Amino acid sequence: MSEGSRGRAVTLDELVAQLDIIRAEAARLRDLLNQLMTERDLIVRAKEGIDAMIRSNPDASLLFPLSTGLVALVEAKPESRNKVIVHLGAEVYAKVDASEGLKLLAEEEGEINKAINEVAKRLSEVESLQSQYESVIQQALAAARARQGAQGK
């Protein structure tokens, strides 16, 4: 096997080492993709909650989660159904009109969707490269077995 323009033979050990690096990158990208999708899901749920709060009966109590896993909730009446506190990043929060909160969250969701698309595209490229490396390694192993078999006759 040669590397083409460099004209240097690549050993099977080098290919396997490169494949390990590619696999690690694919795993890292999968983790990042899962993290981004989780973030997006949190934003979608927050938008749905704000929308439901806006549309709810002003005299009715609402359930507010005390944890992300909905392990504990509290029933309360918001001081105002027209204001929400949203996370702006870097541990900065702002109290804004509910419609502005929805807008901010929609913008954040759009940014996360772009990142998801970019990471998914890169992951696809890395997985394709991984598949190519695996194929080349399998071909090299098959050729080595064939040579050993021919020498053993």
In this prediction, residue 74 has a pLDDT band, given cuts at 50, 70 and 90, of very high
Tens-place pLDDT, residues 61-72: 888 888 877 789
Mean pLDDT of 87-95: 92
Tell me the whole-structure pTM to 2 decimals: 0.80
- Non-local (6+) Cβ contacts of 86 within 8 A are 46, 93, 94, 96, 101, 104, 105
Any idea which architecture 12-55+81-145 has in CATH? Orthogonal Bundle (1.10)
d(CA 60, CA 145): 75
Q: What is the pLDDT of residue 2?
A: 46
Q: Can you state the angle between helices 12-55 and 98-151, rounded to 10 degrees?
A: 160
Pick 2 or 100 by higher pLDDT: 100
Segment 15-62, tens digit of pLDDT: 999 999 999 999 999 999 999 999 999 999 999 999 999 998 888 888
Give the start-to-end residue ranges of the domains of the chain: 12-55+81-145
